[in-house]
Amino acid sequence: MKKLAVVAFGGNALLRGDQKGTIDEQEANAYTTAEHMLKLLNRDYNLVITHGNGPQVGNLLLNNIAGHKMHNLPEMPLDVCVAYSQGFIGYVIEQQLKNVLRAHDMDRDVITIITDVLVNKDDPAFENPTKPIGPFYTKEEADRIAGETKSVFAADPRGRGYRKVVASPQPLVISNVKTIEKIARGGQIIIAVGGGGIPVFYVEQNKTQGIDAVIDKDLASALLASQINADKFFIMTDVPKVCLHYNTPKEQAITRMTIAEAKRYLAEGHFADGSMGPKVRAAIYFVEHSGKDTIITRTDLLGVDDGGTRITLV
């Protein structure tokens, strides 16, 4: 029986910080990313792919605002923008992965599942929104919009202005997990939980609706991996290994660490919240709930022996 792996890509797997965001750029990046997936397929893994959507959903929000200002089009809420991004990113990954598979005479279906994720509307995160989204505004613009819409804005640490901030609640339940696991274990490739999933809550018994929030995509991916009984969880980043004293003369790459060590390093402040911190927390979650390993690494090191940092139970 083949092993099942969940591979979590960042939004920069398709769109990088120095690029304009054209579809040609995103397709080329997706093709390169898809080629690296072959190493896992050749090691007899069945695959579930998850992905970030930060750059893409930011662009959607800008389009939203421009359409409203110029043509009085209704602005779509954040949960709908996440759904938009799941669809188009899934399409791009599907297309390029199929192109790579055909180039290597491999026959697999690739299926994107639009995925909502249940959160608790009483999660403390809603009392302290911290996740910045959308464009930068002046203080005067931010104050005006906040007064009109009850949105919350925060100053950018780099002094670039003010941005809207939303809650990042804990993911509780991933939709369609039984179907995701069944199809993936049947040998087809699934793309799910894009952008951390579409955040929904129970507005009343047996009725869900979207909510203005962003779910951490690595934590949602870890929850999915544990719920579908994955054998391994890969978290992609832009460095080959997790490091202590990152970007200092004392920098030290870690090849292997237990979850106890990972928790200690987190407490010591080695992994920043806006960088490696969420990935290490997601790794800990999966290992604790499954007993299986998580590997944090760069895309080109997928499936390479000793590639990346392995997080283990003991």
Instruction: Choose, from 11, 134, 197, 210, the residue flagged as catalytic.
Output: 11
Instruction: Choose, from 12, 63, 120, 176, the residue flagged as catalytic.
Output: 12
Instruction: Choose, from 10, 64, 217, 241, the residue flagged as catalytic.
Output: 217
Q: Is 206 considered catalytic here? A: no
Instruction: Choose, from 52, 131, 210, 292, the residue flagged as catalytic.
Output: 131
Q: Is 247 considered catalytic here? A: no
Q: Tokens for 147? A: 């007064």
Q: Is 217 considered catalytic here? A: yes
Q: Is 279 considered catalytic here? A: yes
Instruction: Choose, from 279, 292, 303, 307, the residue flagged as catalytic.
Output: 279
Residues noted as catalytic: 11-12, 131, 217, 279
